[in-house]
Amino acid sequence: MEPLGERLAALRREKGLSQAELAKLLNMGQSTIAMYERTRRTPDPTTLKRLADFFNVSVDYLLGRTNNRAGSGEKSPYRHEEQRILLQEDRLLQSVTDPLFADLLRRIPDLTDEERESLAEYWGWALRVIEKERERRKKAPSAKKSSPS
């Protein structure tokens, strides 16, 4: 892999983003990010600048011309907090349009304030039960490994 692909992949992983998440944040296709990382495609100068701004590094760093990451010093239009908010909004949209929940969610406006509060309390309780069950399942395999044979 050439410097651009290696550095792009490393920077993306440092931010804890998948190729799909990065692509969505930059309004690109996931396959485009994958091709950049595999050096099957080279970004145009405008896209290189967007990538450098996003990761707050210089274009020269992305291209492997320097090991100095320093960006332009200008504020990136893609602050980390804003990225997370965009991803959370996308996850919320996926939940709202999920056929399993869409009908239930459509009925919420017909509920009274008291009924909505009751529903929120019930969902909170149900999610806590699910989280406890997840934790129990996570601990179960490790408990089996540590038990004497």
Q: Which residue type, as a one-letter code, is found at position 4?
A: L
141, part of any domain = yes
Task: For residue 134, give the amino acid letter.
Answer: R
Please count the structural domains in the chain. Answer: 2
What are 21-44's pLDDT values in tens digits?
A: 999 888 889 999 999 999 899 999
For residue 25, give both structure tokens: 């944040």
Q: Is residue 90 part of a domain?
A: no
**pLDDT digits over 117-127, tens only?**
999 999 999 99
Question: Reduced to 3 states, what is the DSSP secondary structure of residue 39?
Answer: coil
Phi (first) and psi of residue 7, to 5 degrees: -70, -40
Residue 74 included in any domain: no
List, for residues 85-95, the tens digit of each pLDDT value. 666 666 777 77
Domain holding 17: CATH number? 1.10.260.40
Q: Where in the sequence is the domain holding 118, given as residue range(s)?
A: 111-146
